């Protein structure tokens, strides 16, 4: 055997060994609890360091009126800035759909477009209200898509994702995120309520998405703490940031 043939044989053996090792590692990862969920076919990989915050309302749409003529749009913006700072401290990159300088009102579709272009690890829609109590966490009421049939050997076909039900693919992950946030808030003595709500743009978001609604915090003897309270906003923002960090570490380990 000539030296060149020997070299070719060694090279082929090395390539085969590398392929076998890669397949075995992949199979082990898929079987492990806590491994990253499979990437959805046809979608680019998510940016695990990116969070999209959507402070609801804005410009001419003030939203609800809370307390002493305070508009919901101003409260959601304040919570978003606090949450953004807390997430940035944890190493996240944060994109917000509007900021203090924004004067144009974005439609729900435009907000969803902004989020979907970024491929974030999670999307948080922020609201505030004067009714109810504690922190309300909502996910989309869309049913999850049916599981693909594994027995048939038909080749995969391109199926476009409808805009109105784009969130369906991520509903399971959104529920996990909502449960994680609820648990973290409860540990911080903040009452949390988890449910499903038909609000836009949740159904159009292509990422694990929840809507957080800040309601008055019941305090025995001294009356309820309103969502306009800065310390209440900060407490919620800190709890949410820590919960998102823990959820990402579990679902999307490095």
Point out which residues bind another protein (CB under 8 A).
57, 61, 63-65, 72, 108, 127, 129-134, 136, 138, 164, 182-183, 185-186, 191-200, 211, 213, 215
What is the closest distance, in whole angstroms, from the C-beta atom of residue 171 to another protein in the complex?
15
First to last CA, the chain: 46
Minimal distance, residue 36 CB to another protein, in Å? 26
Tell how strand 192-196 and strand 70-71 pair up. Answer: unpaired
Closer to another protein at the Cβ: 104 or 149? 104
Q: How far is the CB of 192 from another protein (least distance, A)?
A: 5
Nearest distance, CB of residue 56 and another protein, angstroms? 8
CB neighbours of residue 147 within 10 Å = 6
Q: Which is nearer to another protein, 121 or 227 (CB)?
A: 227
Q: Pick the closer one to another protein by CB: 50 or 134.
A: 134
Q: How far is the CB of 20 from another protein (least distance, A)?
A: 46
Closer of 1 and 222 to another protein (Cβ): 222
DSSP code of residue 219: -
Taking the C-alpha atoms of residue 170 and residue 39, their distance in angstroms, rounded to an integer, is 11
Distance CA 190, CA 133 (A): 10
- What angle, 0 to 180 degrees and rounded to 10, lies between the N-to-C axes of helices 230-251 and 72-89? 50
Is the CB of 46 or the CB of 135 nearer to another protein? 135
* Tokens standing for residue 40: 């959805």
* Cβ-Cβ contacts under 8 Å for 183 (sequence gap 6 or more): 243
């Amino acid at each position: 055997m000539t030296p060149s043939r020997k070299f070719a044989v060694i090279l082929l053996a090395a390539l085969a060994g590398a392929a076998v090792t890669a397949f075995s590692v992949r199979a082990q990862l898929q079987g492990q609890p806590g491994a990253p969920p499979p990437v959805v076919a046809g979608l680019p990989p998510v940016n695990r360091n990116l969070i999209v915050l959507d402070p609801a309302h804005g410009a001419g749409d003030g939203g609800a009126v809370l307390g002493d003529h305070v508009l919901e749009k101003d409260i959601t913006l304040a919570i978003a800035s606090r949450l953004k700072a807390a997430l940035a401290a944890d190493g996240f990159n944060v994109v917000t759909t509007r900021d203090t300088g924004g004067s144009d009102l974005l439609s729900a579709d435009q907000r969803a477009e902004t989020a979907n272009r970024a491929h974030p690890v999670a999307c948080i829609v922020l609201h505030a209200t004067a009714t109810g109590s504690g922190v309300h966490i909502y996910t989309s009421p869309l049913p999850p898509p049916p599981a693909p049939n594994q027995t048939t050997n038909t080749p995969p076909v391109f199926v476009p994702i409808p805009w109105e039900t784009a969130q369906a693919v991520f509903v399971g992950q959104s529920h996990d995120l909502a449960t994680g946030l609820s648990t973290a808030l409860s540990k911080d003595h903040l009452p949390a309520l988890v449910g499903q709500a038909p609000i836009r743009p949740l159904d159009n978001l292509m990422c694990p998405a929840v809507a957080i609604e800040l309601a008055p915090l019941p305090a025995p003897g001294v009356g309820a703490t309103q969502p306009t309270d800065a310390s209440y906003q900060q407490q919620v923002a800190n709890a949410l940031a820590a919960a998102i960090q823990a959820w990402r570490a579990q679902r999307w380990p490095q």
